[in-house]
Copies of this chain bind each other. A is one copy, B any other.
Amino acid sequence: MESNDAVRALFNPRRMAVVGASANPAKWGHIVPSNILRNGYRGDLYLVNPRGGTIHGRTVHRSLAEIGEPIDLAMITIPAEEVAKVMDDCARARVKAAIVISGGFSESSPEGRGLEQELVEAARSRGIRLVGPNTMGIYSASLSLSALMPPVRPRPGHIAFAAQSGNLGTQMLGWGSYRGIGFSRFVCVGNECDLEFADYLQYFAADEGTRVILLYVEGFKRPRYVLELAGEISLRKPVVIYKAGRTEAGRRAVASHSAAMAGSQEIYRGMVRQAGMVQAETTEEMLDFSEALAKLPVPRGRRVAILSWGGGWGVVEADLCERSGLEVASLPPEVKEELSSVLPPYWSKGNPVDMVGIVNLEDHGRCLEILASHPSFDLVISLGTINAAAAFGMAERDEESPEEEREILRAQRTYVREGSNRFARKVLEMMREHGKPIVTVGMPQKEMEAADIADLPRDELCIYTNPERAARVAAMLAARGEYLRSRGC
């Protein structure tokens, strides 16, 4: 089967089966189907184990063939030595792709390497394509399919993610879920005995639900080929990459983890830059950059306007922007004049525009509009207004306080929440109207609480928790814009 057809079947299986299903809650053969059911897979799930029986009230079939329906995807949880043997049964059930989560293959020993070779031959000769082995599985938003080992519940969205570490990859899905960052597809590539980065990349490039591609890579099997491919794709869709194994210590760790060749960091960096990929320097940037590229327009230049509720944060952000290569452009006279009609006479008259502690959030919205609508600025960073109720503990319950105090707190909270939600809608409106990114910093005490964002259009906004993250995102967006312009896009 063609790679692309196999990958399509992998992410869109109408029928799938777990081979090695188990009634024992401590076994992956139990946990994986539980995760699939719990996340509401919109396809038919079958359980297979030669011993039969029932699990979660479902019949356990003794073989794939016994199901009597063609199966698009098989997920295999049995010991390494047994996997090659089920390929026959897979072929009879017309399985297109198999995810082999079992470990004990080439990542662990020379014997394992032999088993992996044997498995590849068994699958290839039957036209079955393989994910893994030694993978934690896949996620696909279109069918709400969480065929994963950890009980993570990814949020549907527009980022397609291929990771050479299941642990790191699935944790990112979890983080994303909490922060309102959604994924279209996820695959833990495992040992890449058959399907590999290039295959997933090619599918993601054409995938309609995918706006951004994210890669966690320890080493590519065919670096030149993948990077050429990424170069073509990144003219249309941004490709964010985190490359691990950048130091001697990291390369040694890669060798014993994924057994990939990490390669020279300098050569990689050059190639990645040439391919127009966006490099994440930290694991935090992997999500921050992907989110921004999925949600925000690309700016036309590097001139940034900063709107800040308090002076200190404005100072910090101005420093950060300038150090990231953005231009903290001065305010044109007409902008100063307009702002003066909103702000008290002692306002700073400069960029950053300091809201000097004004609590009326409508005024923040008016200042945002003045900055976002002016052609002197290519992007805007807004600090402290959005999600303001979560800052300063206003989202906290306060049970020890006397009723009168609690009443006041509730009133304050409602006032601030409503105001900051109106501001959030203004941010979206301005972005749409002017086609400029507006990066917001919520600075809550904790990462966004679900209750606080209930009426915020979270799936379209980028809200960071500190000014450093906002500055890095803004600089990345500006660089992406420059790259696209340099290539005539």
Chain B residues contacting A401 (CB-CB under 8 Å) are 38
Known: A247-B323, A445-B175. A283 touches B316 (CB 8 A): yes
Complex: chain B residue closest to A154, CB-CB: B393
A467:B350 contact, CB within 8 angstroms: no
Q: Is A488 an interface residue (CB 8 A)?
A: no
1/0 per residue, CB under 8 A from B, across A216-237: the answer is 1010000000000000000000
A394:B151 contact, CB within 8 angstroms: yes
Q: Is A203 an interface residue (CB 8 A)?
A: no
Q: Determine, out of A9-17, A159-167, A362-370, A420-428, the stretch whose residues face the partner at the interface.
A: A159-167
8 contacts between A and B (CB under 8 A): A112-B346, A166-B312, A178-B445, A247-B322, A249-B351, A257-B315, A283-B468, A446-B446
Q: Is A79 an interface residue (CB 8 A)?
A: no
Nearest CB of chain B from residue A82's CB, rounded to whole Å: 18
1/0 per residue, CB under 8 A from B, across A338-350: the answer is 0000000110111
> Could you say which interface size class chain A belongs to?
35 or more
B446:A178 contact, CB within 8 angstroms: yes
Chain B residues contacting A174 (CB-CB under 8 Å) are 391-393, 445
Complex: chain B residue closest to A409, CB-CB: B151
Among A301-352, those with CB < 8 Å from B are 309-316, 318-319, 321-323, 328, 345-346, 348-352
A254:B315 contact, CB within 8 angstroms: yes
Chain B residues contacting A70 (CB-CB under 8 Å) are none
A252:B350 contact, CB within 8 angstroms: yes
Complex: chain B residue closest to A243, CB-CB: B319
B319:A256 contact, CB within 8 angstroms: no
Q: Is A168 an interface residue (CB 8 A)?
A: yes
Chain B residues contacting A56 (CB-CB under 8 Å) are 404
B408:A177 contact, CB within 8 angstroms: no
Q: Is A108 an interface residue (CB 8 A)?
A: yes
B283:A167 contact, CB within 8 angstroms: no
Chain B residues contacting A297 (CB-CB under 8 Å) are none
Q: Is A244 an interface residue (CB 8 A)?
A: yes
* Number of copies of this kind of chain in the complex: 2
Bound: A283/B316 CA distance, A = 8
> A167 is contacted by which of B38, B170, B247, B384 (Cβ under 8 Å)?
B384
Nearest CB of chain B from residue A216's CB, rounded to whole Å: 7
A152:B392 contact, CB within 8 angstroms: yes
Of the listed residues A164, A247, A249, the one surrounded by the most CB atoms of chain B closer than 10 A to its CB is A249
Known: A311-B165, A392-B170, A393-B177. A318 touches B445 (CB 8 A): no
Chain B residues contacting A112 (CB-CB under 8 Å) are 346
Q: Is A376 an interface residue (CB 8 A)?
A: no
B167:A253 contact, CB within 8 angstroms: no
Chain B residues contacting A352 (CB-CB under 8 Å) are 253
Bound: A256/B169 CA distance, A = 44
Chain B residues contacting A345 (CB-CB under 8 Å) are 109
Bound: A459/B489 CA distance, A = 53
A393:B153 contact, CB within 8 angstroms: yes
B312:A164 contact, CB within 8 angstroms: yes
B109:A315 contact, CB within 8 angstroms: no
Nearest CB of chain B from residue A63's CB, rounded to whole Å: 26
1/0 per residue, CB under 8 A from B, across A92-135: the answer is 00000000000010011100100000000000000000000000
> A246 is contacted by which of B37, B246, B323 (Cβ under 8 Å)?
B323
> A250 is contacted by which of B37, B257, B319, B404 (Cβ under 8 Å)?
B319
1/0 per residue, CB under 8 A from B, across A275-305: the answer is 0000000111000000000000000000000
Known: A38-B401, A164-B312, A174-B393. A284 touches B468 (CB 8 A): yes
1/0 per residue, CB under 8 A from B, across A462-476: the answer is 000011100000000
Bound: A252/B350 CA distance, A = 8
Chain B residues contacting A171 (CB-CB under 8 Å) are 391-392, 443, 445
Q: Is A25 an interface residue (CB 8 A)?
A: yes
Of the listed residues A245, A384, A408, the one surrounded by the most CB atoms of chain B closer than 10 A to its CB is A408
